[in-house]
């Protein structure tokens, strides 16, 4: 395929996601006790989490709401000038943007919020509150911002978000051409249309992924993922969840595209979560997206042939930040 636009804007990494949950108590207990995430802070209507080697104050915010889904996802840029540069590109693309004030509640500084053409609510921020471990959680290892979690699945770090969109090629072109996020690989389905694209700002296989909406019902959150250290930890998570009375949706299995071992399941409020490990790393500055055509596309999704459940095509709702942005600032 032809040469694609390279990343020219320094978005450094995916920083966090805010999930809406309908049962905050049940979801909090699930993420804490079974998934082994650490609580950074609890406040009325919200619980903030991080994995044991996440350096920021939090990477996941659970917010009590009437409907489950994604409130927003956050990308970090080095400085305000980078966000302003991106704002110019967003303006040129006809995307409505809004500046919001930083606050202790957000645990980061000022940010630029917007919805992508495919409906994904995003923000760009540059100043962030770092996690400070209490004495009982302080690690003796300087490379660990806290002690390793010794219960639950205990993933190492926040990894990626995946979305369902009506037009995968158009949304990918926006993410690459406007935001500068590198396109790493793509899959075409039996009908010849593009079923998925995976993108990242750095050397990981993907930080954001797009999958095709087969009913053309608009943008939805597909899943939020955390990274574990090994396949053994993913398998342990599967056994742990089943033993405690929860169902697995798909996996354990292996994606041929990234080479990652995966496990998907739903938390009590209905949001899909993934724990995975492995995945290729990309260092080539001249990287061209790998194309998985129809003949091998199934191996890309499920290298071991683990059957894809029909429920996997569904997702939860996403916010329109242009409508709600005034209520989250300050």
Residue 323 binned pLDDT confidence (cut-offs 50, 70, 90) = confident
pLDDT, averaged across the chain: 94
Residue of 16, 88, 23, 19 whose CA lies nearest to 55 = 16
pLDDT in tens, 24-73: 999 999 999 999 999 999 999 999 999 999 999 999 999 999 999 999 99
Chosen CATH of 13-153+319-327 out of 3.10.180.10, 3.40.50.1370, 3.40.50.720, 3.40.50.300? 3.10.180.10
> How confident is the model at residue 2, as a pLDDT?
45
> How confident is the model at residue 212, as a pLDDT?
96
DSSP-H helix ranges across the chain: 24-29, 80-92, 168-177, 231-243, 294-301, 321-324
CA distances from 80 to 11, 68, 109, 126 (A): 11, 31, 10, 6
Q: In CATH terms, is domain 157-317 a member of 3.10.180.10?
A: yes
Residues in the chain: 330
pLDDT in tens, 78-91: 999 999 999 999 99
Comparing 84-98, 110-124, 150-164, 296-310, the range with the smallest average pLDDT is: 296-310
Residue 291 burial (10 A CB sphere; 0-12, 13-18, 19+): middle
pLDDT over threshold 80, residue 4: no
pLDDT over threshold 70, residue 326: no
Number of H helices, E strands in the chain: 6, 18
pLDDT in tens, 139-155: 999 999 999 999 999 99
pLDDT over threshold 50, residue 325: no
Rounded average pLDDT over 131-139: 96
Maximum separation of any 2 CA atoms in the chain, in Å: 57
Q: Are 120 and 320 in contact (CB under 8 A)?
A: no
pTM reported for the whole predicted model:
0.94
Rounded average pLDDT over 249-268: 97
pLDDT over threshold 70, residue 126: yes
pLDDT in tens, 218-244: 999 999 999 999 999 999 999 999 999
Residue 324 binned pLDDT confidence (cut-offs 50, 70, 90) = low
pLDDT over threshold 90, residue 136: yes
> How confident is the model at residue 10, as a pLDDT?
81
> How confident is the model at residue 8, as a pLDDT?
55
Residues of the chain with CATH 3.10.180.10: 13-153+319-327, 157-317
Comparing 101-115, 124-138, 297-311, the range with the smallest average pLDDT is: 297-311
């Amino acid at each position: 395929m032809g040469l694609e636009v390279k990343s020219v804007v320094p978005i450094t990494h995916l920083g966090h996601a805010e999930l809406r949950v309908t049962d905050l108590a049940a979801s909090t207990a699930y993420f804490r006790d079974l998934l082994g995430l650490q609580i950074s802070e609890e406040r009325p209507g919200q619980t903030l989490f991080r994995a044991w080697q996440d350096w920021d104050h939090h990477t996941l915010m659970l917010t009590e709401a009437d409907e489950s889904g994604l409130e927003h996802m956050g990308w970090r840029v080095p400085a305000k000038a980078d966000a302003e540069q991106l704002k110019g590109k967003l303006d040129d693309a006809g995307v409505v943007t809004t500046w919001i004030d930083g606050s202790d509640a957000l645990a980061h500084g000022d940010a630029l919020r917007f919805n992508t053409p495919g409906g994904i609510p995003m923000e760009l921020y540059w100043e962030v509150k770092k996690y400070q471990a209490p004495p009982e959680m302080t690690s003796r290892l300087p490379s660990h911002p806290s002690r390793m979690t010794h219960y639950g699945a205990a993933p190492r770090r926040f990894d990626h978000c995946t979305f369902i969109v009506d037009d995968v090629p158009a949304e990918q072109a926006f993410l690459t051409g406007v935001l500068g996020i590198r396109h790493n690989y793509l899959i075409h389905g039996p009908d010849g249309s593009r079923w998925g694209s995976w993108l990242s700002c750095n050397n990981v296989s993907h930080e954001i992924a797009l999958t095709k909406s087969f009913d053309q019902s608009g943008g939805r959150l597909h899943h939020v993922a955390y990274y574990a250290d090994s396949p053994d930890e993913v398998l342990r998570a599967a056994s742990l969840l089943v033993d405690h009375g929860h169902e697995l949706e798909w996996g354990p299995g292996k994606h041929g595209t990234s080479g990652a071992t995966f496990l998907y399941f739903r938390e009590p409020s209905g949001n899909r979560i993934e724990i995975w490990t492995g995945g290729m790393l990309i260092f080539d500055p001249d990287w061209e997206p790998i194309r998985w055509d129809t003949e091998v596309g199934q191996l890309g999704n499920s290298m071991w042939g683990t059957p894809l459940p029909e429920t996997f095509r569904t997702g939860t709702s996403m916010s329109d930040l242009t409508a709600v942005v005034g209520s989250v600032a300050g």
